[in-house]
A and B are shown apart, each in its own frame.
Chain A
Amino acid sequence: MIIAALAGNPNCGKTTLFNELTGSKQHVGNWPGVTVEKKEGNYKKDNNISIVDLPGTYSLSPYSAEEEIARDYIINSKPNVVVNIVDATSIERNLYLTMQIAQTGTPMVVALNMMDEVESMGIDINTNKLSEMLGVPVVPIVARSGKGIEKLMAVTKDTAQRGIATLKQDVYDKIKNIEENKNDEEADILAADMRYEYIDKVVDSSVFKPQIKKLTTSDKIDQIVTNKVLSLPIFAVVMYMLFACTFSENFLFIEGLPSPGVWLAGVVESLWGSLTGVVDAALVSAGVSDWLHNLVIDGIMAGVGAVFGFIPLVLVLFVLMSFLEDSGYMARVAFVMDRIFRKFGLSGKSFIPLLMGFGCSVPALTASRTLESDKDRKITMMVTPFMSCGAKLPIYLMFVATLFADSNRTAIIFSIYALGMVMAVIGSLLLNKFMFKAENSGFIMELPKYRIPSLKSVGIHAWEKVKGFAIKAGTIILFSTILIWFLSNFNMSGMCDMEESFLAIIGNSIAWIFAPLGFNDWRASVGVVTGWIAKENIVATFGQLFAGVTDEAVLEAVMAGEQGLPAIGDVFTKVSAFSYMAFNLLCMPCFAAVGAMRREFGSMKWTLKAIAFQMVVAYVVALIINVVGNIIF
């Protein structure tokens, strides 16, 4: 078995090559302890070659979790061979990593990628000369079309089997000696300088650039896209389209036209609905007992349905995100938004997950994958659910129609949304300060060239995402749905109404916890719990428990804020209603979002930390609202 590690700068085409090499036979997960993607797979034409896609890195000096992984992997796990992918369009910077890898003494091959672009830029690279000066084999490839890949793999296999590191040991040893003998900061910097000096020599004798410098297509696009005047309007349009394509019910402002995301979700939902109907009829005709019928329909079918229901949103958003990412626009999002978001201790790219959070936290959380730093990614995920999602709106509408009929309803609802945004900012500042001990790592980011994304890689990405979500998140969603179903339908003597269920007992025994928040009532506590299946469930739960309403039509009117539920006025005041809304906005999101967090964090520990953080924030904020509110009103 030969283990070949793919290493290279970010955006050099590693993933494209990896997909080309492994086809669909790949395992995607996270590296232990960090939310950085780990991919492994076998070469599709030779199962004896196993390929590991390392995180993109500019250097082997560890500045970030990604770089540490790549470095530790090459140095400690000792792959048989490193395939170093070099983006030939920015060869000087790419060769820096090449020299660092060569210095480790691991057998390596340089895959000189993007040769198609190099040719169209009129640049000529003498690969023999390059190979001679670097002391390692160099194979020109076009990862995107697969050109040169068989040759690359033949050379890779040969290099691994012969196990030779480099033929230019003297060059690398000289640098290594400086680093190791002095081993101080100055020596490190001297060594880095020496690498670039050597690279300049290599490039001078093997790369021939045309004399006349003309603007590349990418430069021309950038003149428009990050232009002083146009960049913000363009940004707004792109972000609007991203949101609208995923969530809009009136797409492109056309009344009743569903966006691709909404349309697909509708199709899946109605298919699932018919399937549930068929299963329902079959169970009835088979004459199964009540509880089994109920378990299958309200527990299992509803749970699996919830997983399927989110897949279209995850899929559509992810296809769009891959487009933004692969085209190079995502880096410009960070360029444009950095000034604002760094004040909150986040990255400009956090804008996208946070914006998507207003639609639904599930796809929003998966969108956090585009953030480079592990810290930014984790903090963004922890605060994204504070953005009030679509499912929370019915709760506000119910309270507003019931208790705030005489106030400015819009202002009340707007203030809840604003509260979520403010808490996201405060939350991320606190997390930066206390949980991550923010080291200011600066903001030094490459702006990659604009490229037309390849449909194949967008497709593979989206498929991975959906699969990962269905498996990892799906398990959590399914089990918790069944658990809550059980708790709300049973007590010690068997099946019962919700009023007598375990859940009611639990509600009764935990209600005191919420007394300081203003709602010491078992039904309110039960609402919090059923809200974790889906936040809008709170309305149905309240309808049933406070007023005995189970009629769909009435519940829908309540959800739309057209009708109030006067009975909740016996328990809630304006202040405690606001506190309850705030609590449900900020506390643990629905299980689907928890599943998405679990999938993205790649660790249960971090998922639980995030939930604990959200619960504490929710409690404290609701407490403040109740105490301060009661003083003022």
Chain B
Amino acid sequence: MSEPMIVLDRVSRSFGELCAVDDVSLEIGAGEFFSMLGPSGCGKTTTLRLIAGFEEPDVGRVMLAGEDVTLVSPRRRNVNMVFQDYALFPHMSVAENVEFGLRLRRVARDQARERVAEMLTVVQLEGLGQRRPAELSGGQRQRVALARALVNKPAALLLDEPLGALDLKLRREMQLELKRIQKTTGTTFVYVTHDQEEALTMSDRIAVMEGGIVQQLADPRTLYEQPRTAFVAGFIGTSNSIRLEVSRREGELAVMELDQGMRVVAPDPGGSAPRLRITVRPEKIRIGGSSNGAGSRIRGQVVERIYLGSLSQTVVEIATGERLVVHELNDDEAAAVAPGDQVTLSWAERHSLIVDSDDGPQREERS
């Protein structure tokens, strides 16, 4: 990453007692598609508004293209926002909406017209310039909101759950569309969502937030395969977490012995934690599988089996009462199991992801 476009430097913002954004530091690169992901109320919108200038941080600095803009008013910041409800001006036509920012900055009339037409082409709304927002579909309004922001050539575009109001099919289409527009214009996108799938498919990097804190900031693959905390593991993908006593440590590995020769093996996180919390992704678990080998083997009873088209999902309850979800491809090798069956689950040791150890930061249990 060259010179970062946006820097949040130890920024905090409280509302009364509540710390909505708690000592957050971020660097967002030029041209990056950056997402903020987290549950409702975790501080995503507040962070975005701090960048836009609609909120002022209690402490910390906001930098934009190398300049400190902490105290600069939103109208003078070279970023534009796409609001969740689009906030289109209903009394103006589509073209007038898009032209609004240019008119305020006194761009010459014919030049402004040209840029508006160009932008309407980018968002595929040619020919709809004379319509009123009320005469457009949800997806089209979304595109107008994008065009209205992008026509100003902002250093970064801030999007607050821009697809939240659309139905699933349109969401999928607009996800691809947004990605295409981002590539075409080369604009830095800061994208807020609480939909993990959306964040995973679109982003270069994702900041997973909870309680005003950035829990982990990484690219989608790293977040999925190496979640650092139980929260991240649970929020990205299905959480399959079990908590076990460490029996012994063998070099790089921590081994947790169970009854009847069963055991779970995981990469040793170091330290001397007596217990570990481990997550296994559903598609990494095999039903049956080898009884020798070095990996993990654990017995349990099938409580549920659901056919999902290309996949079958099996829920297995193990001796500790915890449940593991297993995804299998429905190919010829798929195991034929039914609820009530005793099965052995197995997975390679590198797929045991340590998300918490008892000497690490204590986090509350999540069901």
> Is the A/B pair a real complex?
no
A-side interface residues toward B, CB under 8 Å?
A: none
B-side interface residues toward A, CB under 8 Å?
A: none
